Structure 1
Amino acid sequence: MNAGIGAPLSAREEWRANWPMVVAAMAGLSFASIPAATLGLFIAPLEQRFGWTRAEISFGMTIFALVSLPLAPFAGALVDRIGGRRVGLPGVAASGLAFAAFALLGGALVQWLLTWVVYSLAALGIRSVVWNTAISSAFSAGRGLAIAVVLGGLSLSQMAAPPLAEFFIANFGWRSAYLALGLGWAGIAFVLVLAFFKVRRPATATDRGPESAEAPALSGLTLGEAMRSLAMLRISLAIVIFGLVATGITIHMVPMLTGNGATRAEAASLAVVLGLGSLLGNLGAGWLTDRVRSALLPLACFALPGVGQAVLLSGTDNLAVLGFGIAALGLGAGAALQVGIYLSTRYAGLRHFGKIYGVISSCQAGASGIGPLVVGIAYDATQSYALVLGTALPLTALSALLVFGLGPYPDFERRSAG
């Protein structure tokens, strides 16, 4: 049950009551992937303007990871304590301003790195745990699709942000691109979160009407219990490995594609394919997780990006084949992200989900920050991405095997009642 006293709501009733909240959460989360989605487009302009190496530029994402690693669990605990709205609203505002501050860069590398520190602190307030903790408490029957739609915000930004950034870079310069994304995109998200990111409980949720509806009593594991759960450890490790590989490739995708013979405009267009694939993967996995309980579903979702990695490793310059590979990367990335969060809510429960997923996302952020740096170092050393892609394939297979055969979902409500 997710709505107090009375019979559980159907998925349709949950959506009728809380669809504005889902849209607002999607908008808030969409800004979280802007840096990763666009950094590849800023690499060449920053190289040319300041003479920094790709490893030095990519180190910004490593700083993001270093900040997130110790602090993300506290952000998750704060969400459990005061709610997602009180964390997400200032988080969107601060993140937008911090991202816009990249437009003020001079030639000092330390300024680039310090700006990343500021942005990373602000972005703690817009991580997926902020939005999905609230969404998971508002949805039960329709939780899979609700999480998928929220995560669709990441996919939308992956589709729209690269061509938008390239438009501003090509026509107005890279500084204008940072301002447009930081102030414009985040400004729209802030308005939507301010207006709609709140739980609305329908009359059918309680015998006493919406005004007196009580918050649901949540059940689930404590953080310590989650750390001793084999299923949660496997899910967590799969998410971390997947984040390491996916972020490293995504950040360097534009240079990878141009190295295969694509122009910058073609690479930006293929980034749209990545975002569209991610969106479809999110929604498809969300629809399936509400209806299908098969061990093959998470296995397939986590394994699919391997197809795209193999295409990139082949070195083909055929745009149609590259498009197919990028679509596979996007579909798998979107589906795996949704399935990872969904499985976490089912195997850990919701009582301490903010804290538990805060720890998971902290480790994922660490891996995601290391990934681009390692890829950049490997490229600087070999002048090729072949070693990176060859290593990514077995790591992707390992993450898929980890989420295969986790067993039935625990019944936390029956356990707490007993």
Structure 2
Amino acid sequence: MIARKQRARREFRQHWTMILAAAIGFSFTSVITSATGLFLEPISREFGWSRTLASSGVSITAVLTFLFSPLFGVFIDKWGTRRMALPGLVLMAVVIASLSLLDGSHWQWFAIWTVYALAALATKSTVWTAAVNSTFDAGRGLALGLVLSGSALAQGITPPLTNYLIDAHGWRMAFVWLGTGWGAIAFILCLLWLRDGYDISRRARAADPDAAARKAPLLDVPGLSVSEAWRSVALWRISISTFVIMVATIALVVHQIQILGEVGVDRKTAAFYAGAAGLTGIVGKLVTGALLDRFPARWVGGVTITATSLTFVLLLVPQAPTAVIVLAMMINGYAGGTKLQLVGYLTAAYSGMRNFGTIFGAMASLIAAGSGLGPVLGGLIYDTYGNYAPMLWGGFAVTLLSAFLLFGLEDYPVWQREPKPTPA
């Protein structure tokens, strides 16, 4: 244990700048999801759109991400994360700012979000998770928590910031400020500091004349083949668990402002609660990361996701007291935000890193499918029933299912690098 702690400290001393760059890069990829709920009302009011249509942008991205994430996962294994993230961040900034040009055309809305999907594919959690997993071993859980805290940072800052920008400058300029401001910071930090295990392997590969002859992958480490991964029961359990929890929690994130409105919370206060919940998610990721480095991931994940189910029950309380609402949002922020951290850690643990990009790319397709289905399903439930109660009951049920699947995982294997053959 002492040796492992020493190795973890050494990893953090060497690569803390990469963690910072990846965390801010990932925070930018979470901005639009965190802000969507605040844009629903002004856009729907100006163009006369239903909430289903107004919330469909995230779903369009999710559908395309679902279709093409495995391909982009292959690109990660082939090129590394840096060559994916930098152009993706630039494209994302431009597209977010271009949403200020909306004129009410459904086709324009669909076209902008289709282009946004390309940026999303190059900057989704697969990229940042691969960067961490390729660089860290002993401190992997905490490193993942720090990097993926970027999304919690976005969830904490984006709602009140977006509410202020909309009130002060209108929803159009809010898109411009979010895209160009946050995007510039993320791009500069990644340009300077996003150097990870793939870059280290690329330099080693260039110095090894036998690497090309062996046709070794860019990240030449132990792990499952793609065909072995498809047959892995553990990876299937992780995949299904991730899909159902994403459906429930992303629906809640996108519609949380309106859900809080149903229990008597005004829009400004709801934005504040949503921001506070996002910041609580940072604590959740760091605590979960430390626990993952010490205890079996299936127990850490199962308990954390079980706690998420309480959020849905508490938000069903009519005219709930402030303390109940705050408790619900804090639980959701703490527990719900760890889902990407858990799936990234579990996938690496059960598949190894040899084909991690390809394998996690397939996992990302299910993440995208759940993320896309959740917001539209939430909007459809509201449009059909006039309230969010059925969605909240469904969220309670599927979070328990997700936790059950993780509790049933077996111990993960210990991956050891095979020695290279020596010449006769």
TM-score for both structures, normalised by structure 2: 0.91
Q: What is the CA distance between 1:234 and its match in structure 2? A: 0.2
The 8 Å contact of residues 21 and 190 in structure 2, kept in 1 or not, is answered as yes
Equivalent residue, structure 2, for 1:155: 152
Question: Residue 282 of structure 1: which of 280, 285, 291 is its match?
Answer: 285
Q: Which amino acid aligns with 1:103?
A: S
Question: Residue 322 of structure 1: which of 325, 339, 345 is its match?
Answer: 325
State the SS of the aligned residue for 1:314. Answer: coil
C-alpha change, 1:306 and 1:89, in structure 2 (3 Å) is same
Q: Which amino acid aligns with 2:182?
A: W
State the SS of the aligned residue for 1:198. Answer: coil
Question: Residue 40 of structure 1: which of 37, 41, 44 is its match?
Answer: 37
Distance 1:277 1:369 in 2: 24
Equivalent residue, structure 1, for 2:112: 115
Equivalent residue, structure 1, for 2:411: 408
- 2:62 equivalent to 1:59: no
Question: Residue 230 of structure 2: which of 217, 222, 227 is its match?
Answer: 227
More divergent stretch after superposition (104-113 vs 371-380): 104-113
State the SS of the aligned residue for 1:298. Answer: helix
Question: Residue 342 of structure 2: which of 328, 339, 342 is its match?
Answer: 339
State the SS of the aligned residue for 1:332. Answer: helix
What pairs up with 1:347-366 in 2 under 5 angstroms?
Answer: 347-366=350-369
Question: Residue 197 of structure 1: which of 194, 201, 214 is its match?
Answer: 194
Q: What is the CA distance between 1:295 and its match in structure 2? A: 4.2
Equivalent residue, structure 2, for 1:396: 399
Q: What is the CA distance between 1:48 and its match in structure 2? A: 1.1
Q: What is the CA distance between 1:407 and its match in structure 2? A: 1.6
Q: Which amino acid aligns with 2:243?
A: V
Q: What is the CA distance between 1:60 and its match in structure 2? A: 1.3
State the SS of the aligned residue for 2:316. Answer: helix
Q: What is the CA distance between 1:401 and its match in structure 2? A: 0.3
Equivalent residue, structure 1, for 2:139: 142
TM-score for both structures, normalised by structure 1: 0.92
The 8 Å contact of residues 238 and 403 in structure 1, kept in 2 or not, is answered as yes
Q: What is the CA distance between 1:315 and its match in structure 2? A: 2.5
Equivalent residue, structure 1, for 2:126: 129
Distance 2:106 2:311 in 1: 33
Q: Which amino acid aligns with 1:145?
A: L
Q: Which amino acid aligns with 2:145?
A: A
Equivalent residue, structure 2, for 1:3: none
The 8 Å contact of residues 153 and 282 in structure 2, kept in 1 or not, is answered as yes
The 8 Å contact of residues 18 and 200 in structure 1, kept in 2 or not, is answered as no
State the SS of the aligned residue for 2:275. Answer: helix
The 8 Å contact of residues 143 and 290 in structure 1, kept in 2 or not, is answered as yes
Question: Residue 78 of structure 1: which of 72, 75, 78 is its match?
Answer: 75
- 2:7 equivalent to 1:10: yes
Equivalent residue, structure 2, for 1:187: 184
- 2:371 equivalent to 1:375: no
Superposed CA offset, 1:2-34 (max 9, x none): xxxxx9970011001101001100111111111
Distance 1:330 1:267 in 2: 14
Distance 1:129 1:12 in 2: 25
Q: What is the CA distance between 1:212 and its match in structure 2? A: 7.6
Q: What is the CA distance between 1:414 and its match in structure 2? A: 6.5
Structure 1 residue runs without a partner (length 5+): 1-6
The 8 Å contact of residues 263 and 317 in structure 2, kept in 1 or not, is answered as no
State the SS of the aligned residue for 1:243. Answer: helix
State the SS of the aligned residue for 1:413. Answer: coil
Distance 2:279 2:131 in 1: 25
The 8 Å contact of residues 98 and 182 in structure 1, kept in 2 or not, is answered as yes
Q: What is the CA distance between 1:415 and its match in structure 2? A: 7.5
What pairs up with 1:292-311 in 2 under 5 angstroms?
Answer: 292-293=295-296, 295-311=298-314
More divergent stretch after superposition (315-324 vs 369-378): 315-324
The 8 Å contact of residues 26 and 151 in structure 1, kept in 2 or not, is answered as yes
The 8 Å contact of residues 197 and 219 in structure 2, kept in 1 or not, is answered as no
Equivalent residue, structure 2, for 1:4: none
Q: What is the CA distance between 1:398 and its match in structure 2? A: 0.2
C-alpha change, 1:179 and 1:296, in structure 2 (3 Å) is same
Question: Residue 97 of structure 2: which of 79, 89, 100 is its match?
Answer: 100
Q: Which runs of 4+ in 1 moved over 6 A?
A: 211-216, 414-418
Equivalent residue, structure 2, for 1:313: 316
Structure 2 residue runs without a partner (length 5+): 212-217
Q: Which amino acid aligns with 1:68?
A: T
State the SS of the aligned residue for 2:373. Answer: helix
The 8 Å contact of residues 35 and 158 in structure 2, kept in 1 or not, is answered as yes
State the SS of the aligned residue for 1:124. Answer: helix
The 8 Å contact of residues 281 and 333 in structure 2, kept in 1 or not, is answered as yes
C-alpha change, 1:216 and 1:390, in structure 2 (3 Å) is closer
Q: What is the CA distance between 1:73 and its match in structure 2? A: 1.0
State the SS of the aligned residue for 2:137. Answer: coil
The 8 Å contact of residues 61 and 370 in structure 1, kept in 2 or not, is answered as no
Superposed CA offset, 1:332-388 (max 9, x none): 112333122111110011001111111111111012101110110110111110011
The 8 Å contact of residues 76 and 354 in structure 1, kept in 2 or not, is answered as yes
The 8 Å contact of residues 131 and 197 in structure 2, kept in 1 or not, is answered as no
Equivalent residue, structure 1, for 2:245: 242
Q: What is the CA distance between 1:108 and its match in structure 2? A: 1.2
Distance 2:337 2:113 in 1: 25
State the SS of the aligned residue for 1:252. Answer: helix
Same amino acid, percent of matched pairs: 36
